[in-house]
């Protein structure tokens, strides 16, 4: 591909020729006034499978060719501007069946989709934009990575993220199969199982606790002495009949 910067349009006596990707896409050069072209090694600078972003600048006394979207990227080849003049026109010539376009026309438009958010956004030609599903949603169709291709068209189907139908989505769990759900339920059952012997109610039922209230101590005192006093009385009453017979009959 050859690009010419010249002024005026039909004056070929003042121009710089920038030759890109000659010798089987191995070399490039910049020359003035049809002078000898001192080629610089630039292997693979062009790509037959897609557009490559290149820039040309003619500031600070140098004409430069570089790679990238702006004139502050990697410089491939540079040539001193021996004859200073204003650049008013840009002429482009391509060989074979190649095509070209200006940078402003190569950017794809940003596309946003429901239930997704953009992780990395690169709308430049050959740039990749990555998406991710929002929390509680899973990718059901499309692509989470899309490439900005030629013709300002995205390569890759729009991502479609749908919400999880499981109630567990509200508590941070997501299950892709029934087996995963059953396994999780069994784990939760083990954690929620309560042993009866370890409950407070069971422990209290087996433990005597001192009660220092006046009413409780009074009841305990009366009942205690009543039981102790009634025991000998009961014994005596049981032998009263035998004692009376001995007294009457002397037997």
The pTM of the full predicted model, rounded to 2 decimals, is 0.41
Instruction: Determine the pLDDT at residue 244.
Output: 64
Contact predicate 154/148, CB 8 Å: yes
CB atoms within 10 A of CB 51: 19
Cα angle, residue 79 at apex, residues 35 and 44 outer, rounded to 5°: 95
**10 Å Cβ neighbour count for 21?**
20
Give Cα 81 distance to the centre of its chain. 50
* Domain boundaries defined on the chain: 2-100, 116-189, 210-251
- If 0-12 CB within 10 Å is exposed, 13-18 middle and 19+ buried, where does residue 16 land? buried
Which spans in 97-213 are helix H? 178-192, 200-205
Q: Would you state the CATH architecture of domain 116-189?
A: Ribbon (2.10)
The tokens for 165 are 């139908």
| pLDDT given at position 8 | 52
Largest Cα–Cα distance in the chain?
168
pLDDT of residue 112: 93
Give residue 68's pLDDT. Answer: 83
Output the tens digit of pLDDT for each of the chain's 251 residues: 344 454 455 566 678 889 999 989 999 999 887 778 889 999 999 988 888 888 888 878 888 999 887 777 789 999 888 777 777 777 788 776 777 777 666 678 899 999 999 999 988 878 899 999 998 899 999 999 999 886 778 999 999 998 866 555 555 566 666 777 788 888 888 777 777 777 777 777 766 666 566 665 666 666 666 666 666 666 665 566 666 666 666 55
CB atoms within 10 A of CB 191: 6
The 154-155 sheet, strands edge to edge:
116-120, 128-133, 145-148, 154-155
Note whether 15 and 28 are within 8 A (CB): no
Tokens describing residue 195: 């042993």
């Amino acid at each position: 591909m050859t690009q010419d910067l010249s002024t005026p349009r039909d004056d070929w006596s003042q121009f710089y020729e920038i030759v890109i990707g000659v010798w089987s896409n191995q070399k490039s050069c910049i020359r003035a006034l049809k002078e000898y072209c001192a080629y610089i090694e630039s292997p693979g600078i062009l790509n037959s499978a897609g557009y490559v972003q290149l820039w040309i600048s003619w500031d600070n006394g140098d004409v430069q060719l570089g790679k990238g979207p702006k004139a502050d990227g990697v410089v491939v080849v540079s040539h001193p501007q021996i004859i200073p003049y204003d650049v008013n026109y840009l002429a482009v010539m391509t060989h074979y069946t190649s095509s070209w376009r200006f940078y402003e026309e190569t950017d794809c438009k940003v596309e946003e989709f429901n239930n997704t958010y953009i992780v990395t956004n690169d709308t430049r030609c050959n740039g990749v934009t990555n998406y991710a599903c929002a929390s509680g949603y899973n990718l059901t169709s499309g692509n989470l990575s899309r490439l900005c291709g030629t013709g300002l068209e995205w390569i890759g189907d729009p991502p479609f993220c749908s919400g999880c139908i499981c109630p567990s989505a509200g508590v941070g769990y997501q299950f892709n199969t029934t087996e995963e759900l059953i396994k999780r339920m069994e784990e939760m059952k083990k954690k929620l199982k309560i042993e009866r012997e370890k409950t407070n109610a069971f422990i209290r039922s087996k433990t005597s606790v001192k009660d220092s209230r006046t009413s409780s101590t009074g009841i305990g005192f009366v009942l205690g002495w009543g039981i102790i006093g009634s025991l000998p009385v009961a014994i005596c009453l049981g032998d009263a009949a035998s004692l009376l017979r001995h007294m009457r009959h002397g037997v």
